[in-house]
Amino acid sequence: MVKQTDFLQFVAGDVDPLTWYDWLPGDAIRVSGIPEGESCEQLVQSLLLRSAPDDASRLDLLTARLLDTPPVITDPVPWRTLAARLSALMCRQLATGGDRHLRMRAQRLNYCIQACVDQGADNSEQPVILDTSVLPGNKPWDCIEYDGVRWWLTSGDQNVHRDGPGGRASFSRGLPTQLDLLRDGRLSVGSIYTPGAWLVDGETWQHLDHAHPIVLVFQHLGELRFLDGAGVVWRDSPRELIWRVPCPQVHFARLFGNTLYCMDNADFGHVTCMDIESGEATRHSTAPVQVCNDVVEVGDALYLIDKQQGSVFKFSRKFDYVGRRLTFGRGASQLVDPVSVRVMDGKLRVVSWLTGRLTWLIAF
């Protein structure tokens, strides 16, 4: 069934991130009452002529046109250029004092452009997909499996889920966004939204109190430590500041060996790494990755996901770009807003936030 919406309702819609990005070009949706005027191509050129593509009315108009009647794009260059600039605009609005409505409009249009440009993309020369499934729940953030148990995070009230030999259970733990396994077998449930973090050992839950959201909990030198959203590494007991990561904020983080990978989504095209032994930090360019949401080490390689482009990117450990796989969209070999990447049994597994899809692929 085709979904019908009016342009004025579309523009004035509730800016709820759980529904704002649900429609993509090619979906069964029609937008009536779109104002006459500039064509899609003219709107692209108008936005590119600005120092920043921050004309909200043109962002909404182009988005509505793409959803109602997706164009056949013969020259993708200006479209990809605009998409990259929209990504950069989105990132800037994530900084303190940013405009949330502008950020979400820029992000929605970026997704629509990516879907149009990559529509019908031929990934047959890159046969890397092994399997796909859908995680139960709305808008998943992360998923981990160990000891025969799967844990995953979703958006909503019941947002931490466990499925294993003892059956399935769900819990409400703030607004969690990241899962990490500690060396002692406990699981950390971190967040970029909710102060503190949770640790769980089987059925026993422990809350780690803190004034800021705790993104990542880990163990080092026999001590419990954590990284908070303000970019500070703490010892838990006695509570003591250990290091400051040179990032204004940290949205996601992973620890491999002694390397702490810190991802600030406001820092377009970069990831900051810190050695937790020395405190030495290095900011790395991730081009062509625009907004890295997660990273995983596999042998001598790094794999990064880009929430903006729906691709998995391979780099050397020194962040030299090697190649990419997959494109943006709802197709079998496509991703939509990937937020988590892990390696299991030598295979990569990616969680897509918008579709809830769990995608397995070869570590290329």
Q: Where are the domains of the chain?
A: 3-117, 129-362
The residue-averaged pLDDT of 126-140 equals 89
How far apart (Å, rounded) are the C-alpha atoms in residues 284 and 282? Answer: 6
What pLDDT does 63 receive? 98
**pLDDT higher than threshold 90 for residue 343:** yes
What pLDDT does 127 receive? 65
What pLDDT does 230 receive? 97
Query: Percentage of residues in the chain with pLDDT exceeding 90?
Result: 91
Q: Omega before 176 cis (within 30°)?
A: no
What pLDDT does 244 receive? 97
What pLDDT does 288 receive? 98
Confidence grade of residue 283 (pLDDT, cut at 50, 70, 90)? very high
The residue-averaged pLDDT of 307-334 equals 93
Beta pairing class for 29-32 and 3-6: parallel
How far apart (Å, rounded) are the C-alpha atoms in residues 92 and 20? Answer: 19
**pLDDT higher than threshold 80 for residue 125:** no
Sign of CA dihedral 9, 13, 19, 23: positive
At residue 7, the 3 state secondary structure works out as helix
The residue-averaged pLDDT of 268-277 equals 97
| Residues sharing a CB contact under 8 Å with residue 204, sequence separation 6 or more, in sequence order | none
The CATH class of the 129-362 domain is mainly beta
Contact 357, 132 (CB under 8 A): yes
At residue 306, the 3 state secondary structure works out as strand
How far apart (Å, rounded) are the C-alpha atoms in residues 121 and 213? Answer: 39
The residue-averaged pLDDT of 337-348 equals 95
What pLDDT does 123 receive? 59
- Provide the 8-state DSSP code for 106: H
| Residues sharing a CB contact under 8 Å with residue 276, sequence separation 6 or more, in sequence order | 220, 225, 233, 243, 255, 258, 259, 260
What pLDDT does 122 receive? 60
What pLDDT does 14 receive? 78
What pLDDT does 128 receive? 83
| Lowest mean pLDDT, pick from 6-20, 140-154, 167-181, 185-199 | 6-20
Residue found by looking up tokens 């990284």 in the block: 227
pLDDT in tens, 31-72: 999 999 899 999 999 999 999 999 999 999 999 999 999 999
What is the model's pTM?
0.95
Mean pLDDT score of the chain = 95
**Measured at the alpha carbon of residue 350, what is the angle toward residues 345 and 355, in degrees to the nearest 5?**
145
